[in-house]
Amino acid sequence: MSDAGSVGAVDATIVERARERAADAERVLVKTGTNSLTDDASRLDRVKLDEIVAEVMSLREHGKSVVLVSSGAVGAGMGLIGRDADTLERSQALSTVGQSHLMRHYTQSFDRFDQTVAQILVTRTDFHTPERFENLRTTVETLLEWDVVPIVNENDAVATDELQIGDNDMISAAIATGIDIDLLVTLTDVDGVYTGNPKHDPDARRIEAVDDNYEAVSRIVDETGAVEFGGIDTKVEAARDASEHGVPAIIAGSADPNVLERIADGASVGTIFVPRDATEHGGVSARDDPIELVGEPGRRVRYRGDDSDE
């Protein structure tokens, strides 16, 4: 049963300002999960991938720079060679098969728009080591100056921690806060955060905005069974972390038509996390320390073979 009454509405003026800020973003980080790129058999779905690419290019046509954080390597590997990711070792091996497959299709799809892309594979160490993070920042900044779309994913073959706890959501928040990103958009198979699980609860209602009502929202997410590895819980956590560091964040549905273009037009899409200014809200300062956003203790541990949209 939905619990809409326990989530207080955010002031309409605050929401409007946040939507306007999202629309005005010059640099956008788009994160897409495995379920947004694969079919029911875990095979890479070229139609879905082409739609994501077209959405990204709609932002480019608005004059925006885009960083794409893409999951899907393990899932693509599973579909390609018909093996299950039921152990860490298998997940790592499948990621090496799937990552090249994933990038080949991304390159082909972006080629339709004469858009050059670059692959960046990261591990937790890249965020915990200041020198390595600075190198990552410099590389991304240079690619954006060259009008290249960086495509970021975890280096699953060597990053055992990330394979276990699915940090792509948190990696997105860390990059967004560390590389002067103006907006974080997480695309998933549900079109926002709901007062219940919309796949099972017909009374569940989309939550328009998250601000001072975060604790109530977080409690509902925990109570509605969103405990899957890389599920809506980690997306909410990452969006909240980004907004606490001054970056507006939106969780929206990858299947919604023209979802990114509508965000760029300021439409009410998905659930927006209102960015907090340290001087007004007493929170952490914007771009304070992106390194702290990756590898937080207490994460749920599951393998990429589980049903998730990490």
* Structural domains in the chain, sorted by start: 4-293 (3.40.1160.10)
Choose from 95-99, 113-117, 296-300 the range with maximum mean pLDDT.
113-117
Q: Give per-residue pLDDT as tens, 44-86.
A: 899 999 999 999 999 999 999 999 999 889 888 988 888 888 8
Q: Tokens representing 82?
A: 């018909």
- DSSP labels for 10-48? PPHHHHHHHHHHHHT-SEEEEEE-GGGTB-TTS-B-HHH
Backbone angles phi, psi at 122, to 5 degrees: -125, 160
Given this model, what pLDDT does residue 162 score? Answer: 52
Whole-Å CA distances, 215 to 162, 220, 221, 222, 236:
26, 9, 10, 11, 11
Q: Give per-residue pLDDT as tens, 234-262.
A: 899 999 999 999 999 999 999 999 999 99
Q: Tokens representing 29?
A: 């980080």
Given this model, what pLDDT does residue 14 score? Answer: 95
Query: Is a pLDDT exceeding 90 seen at residue 113?
Result: yes
Q: What is the Cα Rg of the chain in Å? A: 18
